[in-house]
Amino acid sequence: MSSIAKLKKKWMKDPKVNEAFEEMEPEFEVAHALIAARVEAGLTQEEVAKRMGTTQSVVARLEGGRTLPSIKSLYRYAEATGTKPVIHLVHG
């Protein structure tokens, strides 16, 4: 187990940290999907930015997981990476 994984495991024992992490789960899921799409396409953030007509720092913010990107941004990112955005609503 990496030192980062060990640290996360330790922090997750704190109820406040665990709650905050769970609240950010949607942002983390979107960030993970964006990064996976870019990596699978074999692109750098700079290349995605160029295809989107924006800057690398904007792509870094989209992939940062601190906020949810707009639907328009998701579609632009998907087009830049050769993917298709799919949104599902499920009962849970």
Domain boundaries, the chain: 15-81
Asked if residue 78 lies in contact with residue 84, where contact means CB atoms within 8 angstroms, the answer is yes
The structure's pTM equals 0.78
Closest C-alpha to 81, from 45, 29, 41, 47: 41
Which CATH class for the 15-81 domain?
Answer: mainly alpha
**pLDDT-based confidence at residue 4 (cuts at 50, 70, 90):** confident
Closest C-alpha to 65, from 35, 38, 21, 27: 27
pLDDT tens digit sequence for 63-76: 998 888 999 999 99
3-class DSSP assignment, residue 4: helix
